[in-house]
Structure formats: C-alpha cells, structure tokens
A and B are shown apart, each in its own frame.
Chain A
Amino acid sequence: MNAIKCVLLSVGCAVMFSGCSTSQDKWQKKRPPLVKVVGIVTFNGEPLSKATVALHPLGGNYAAFGQSGSNGRFTLETFEPGDGAVAGNYAVTVTKAKLEYEPDPVNPDTKPPLYQSEQSMIPDTYSVVATSGLTATIPSTGNADINLSLTGQPGELKIIADRRNNR
C-alpha cells in the first residue's frame, strides 16, 4: 500500500515539475540556440553612447540588435533582452543621429511639420549594410565580445521638411 502511495506521489511530482519546466511556448522551442554577445562601440577613439547597433545575418535568419550605454558598451538581443545572437557571420550597422523638430504652431499634428532634420553623428556609411564595412563573427562556443571602432566625420544635415519660409 505504501509502495503504491509512493509511486503515485512520485508520478505526481514528475507531472508537477514537468509542468513547471514547459513554460516555453512552441515558438520559443523552435528558436535556434544563442550565444551571449556584448561589445563596445567607439567613434574616433571615444565611447559612442546611445548608438543603435544592428547585426544583419549573412545567410542566417535572425538579426541581433542593441543600444549602447554611456560607456559605449552594448548587449545584443535577438528575441529577448540580452539573450545574444545566433552563431554565424553578420554585417554590422551602427546608427546615431541628431534630430531637430519644430511642429506646426497652429496644429502640431500637421504633416509635414514646420521643420524636421536629421544628421548622422557618425559617417552615414555606417548605417547601411552595403557601405558600413563592419562585420562580426559570432562563434558557436563561448561568449562573444565585439569591438566596433568607427572613424571619420559626422554625416551631412538632411532636411526632411522645412516650411519655415512660407509661414
């Protein structure tokens, strides 16, 4: 009798624990394994803060991305914050732009606004895969630490809208 109780108890526990361990849904189960990736982005030798770093898969299916902190350090995300990247080769883009915006004084919702401009704070070339020239290889074993050293001059001012003169 005791033996039967014991068996039932064990089965009960097994069901309970398996219940706990299957908190992943079917999409999470299909995801490829990831490698933790951190890195640093510098511009002309100085840490670049608040820059968006994106890893574009070369052959793979999943991109990874992150935003640098004040020290230029970033942690990459593919599916969840800080989960890393799929092992493989990537083209890397870095974006950091300054934005100026002046809404229409009568109705701020008007499009286009009175003035909107954007200026890349790093060379424009880094924001596009075709011209960035930056690559990263994420190894399947161990963690990766990427070093992105950008150099050059800020991009040109791009006017997106300017109606200030026909006010």
Chain B
Amino acid sequence: MGPAPWTETFAPYDNKLSMLMCPTMSSHVLDGGGYQAKRGRTTYGFVTSDTNDMASNLVRGMFGKMSFFKFRDANDGLSNTLLMAEFILPTTTNDLGSIASPVAGNADKIPANCRALYNKATRQYTVAVQPFRGRNWGEGAPTVNCVVTAQPPNSPSCILSASNSSLGLCSAGSKHVGGAHALLGDGGVRFVSDNIDAGNQAATATAAALGIGPSPFGVWGALGTRQSGEIVGEF
C-alpha cells in the first residue's frame, strides 16, 4: 500500500496516471514548486457535500474524513446523489484552477464571499492562491481530491489556510466548455451545466449552519447531499 501520501521520498506517488487526467486538461499544469510539486495529478474529485465540512461528525455527502458510507446511506436516492465530479488544475498564474488561500472574511464558508474574490473578466483571482488542486492522486486531503457543491461548476475555490488539508469551498470544473462531468450513485455520468441552479449563494456552507436540513444551494447543492431530503426533480 505504501506510506502516507505526503511521504515525499516514495516515488510511486510521482507516477503520472493518464487514466486520472481528463484528456482536455492542459499538459502545462502549474506546479508552483515546493512541497509535492512533482506528484502525479488527478482531475477527478470525491464529492464531500454542499458544505466545507468533512471532518465533522455530520458528513452531509457520501465522502468524509475517517468515515464511510454505503449505498443504503444515500437516502436522497442514488440517482440524486453525487459521488464524484471533475475539477480543473491551475495552468497559469492565479487562474481558476488555483485555490484562493489563505482567505479572510468567511470566503471559505460563504460562496458569495468566495466568488467575489475572482474576477471573471480577467479570469484571475484578486488574492493569494495555492496550487493544491489535484496535486497527488494518492492524497485524501479535501483541497486536493474533493469537490464541494456549494458553488456551481467552474466557480472559484477558497480555503482558510494555505495547507492542502485546510477546509473550504473547492469547486467542480472542467475544460469542456459550459460545465463539468459528474458521477452519480447509480453509476450514471452526467454533464452538469455551469448554469445549474445553485440557490442562495450567500448561505453559510458549514455542517454547523445546515445541520441535516435541505441544501440552500439549489439543485447542485441537493445533488451533493445524501440524506437531506431535497426533491431534486429534473436536472
């Protein structure tokens, strides 16, 4: 099985696995240098939920820290619950594939506050960013291999501290124009539009704020939860 994924001297984690890289992802991935820079990448993330929590006792989605769920735990229905989604990696300085961090002012919890830190016209973040996304396919850290469905696909990502294990809002995304692919619990793969209803983007995306209640983040948020009881309808 090998050592912990952050063991930099363990060469197998450096392998580039083409199976885990979407063919549309640029070959020029920005590594930012430093820690784990030469690790093999992935562009497929596990959907933790519609909140930035994965370490809490209340995991609203299908994947969380030190926990596991079975298909029977997806009470919203396997056809209405996401398992995985694509995301993008940084290819140029400050681009959408980066993660804004460290951030202040609840940008790691409130989608609107996170989205305000990215300028869609210049396609640049206006704050400091980190290159953690997809960096090391063996890594389970939330910023590296997870997707939060609080913000629609191809939105910016924001985490509290500049560490890959810090919590925040890490968005789905892809280089396919207009959306991203997502894997449902029933095995179906759907192309989800960037324009999918994502509800109230000023709601607080934490397990503490949402409890076991329905997602405030529209159809996309509802797809990220496994047992919050939303009626998802056609999507």
Q: Do A and B bind each other?
A: yes
A contact set with B: CB distance below 8 Å = 25-28, 30-31, 50, 52-57, 61-67, 77, 79-81, 93, 95-99, 101, 103, 107-113, 116, 118, 120, 127, 160-161
Offer 20 A-B interface pairs, CB within 8 angstroms, sorted by A.
A25-B195, A26-B193, A27-B193, A27-B195, A52-B117, A53-B116, A54-B202, A56-B202, A65-B115, A65-B116, A66-B116, A67-B117, A81-B120, A81-B121, A96-B105, A107-B35, A109-B36, A111-B161, A113-B163, A160-B161
Which residues of A are found within 8 Å of B62, using beta-carbon distances? none
Residues from 113 to 142 in B contacting A, C-beta threshold 8 Å? 113, 115-117, 120-121, 126
Q: CB distance B193 to A103 under 8 Å? A: no
B143 to chain A, nearest CB (A): 10
A99 to B106, CA, bound (A): 12
Contact with A along B199-224 (1 / 0, CB 8 A): 11111000000000000001000000
Chain B's closest residue to A101 (CB) is B102
A55 to B162, CA, bound (A): 28
A53 to B202, CA, bound (A): 10
Knowing A67-B116, A67-B126, A113-B163 touch, does A99 contact B103 (C-beta < 8 A)?
A: yes
Q: CB distance B104 to A57 under 8 Å? A: no
Number of B residues, CB within 8 Å of A: 37
Most chain A CB inside 10 Å of its own CB: which residue of B112, B165, B199, B200: B112
Which residues of B are found within 8 Å of A53, using beta-carbon distances? 116
Q: CB distance B102 to A99 under 8 Å? A: yes
Which residues of B are found within 8 Å of A96, using beta-carbon distances? 105
Knowing A28-B195, A52-B113, A79-B195 touch, does A101 contact B103 (C-beta < 8 A)?
A: no
Knowing A63-B201, A65-B202 touch, does A110 contact B116 (C-beta < 8 A)?
A: no
Which residues of A are found within 8 Å of B117, using beta-carbon distances? 52, 67
A151 to chain B, nearest CB (A): 19
B161 interface neighbour in A28, A56, A116, Cβ under 8 Å: A116
A99 to B102, CA, bound (A): 8
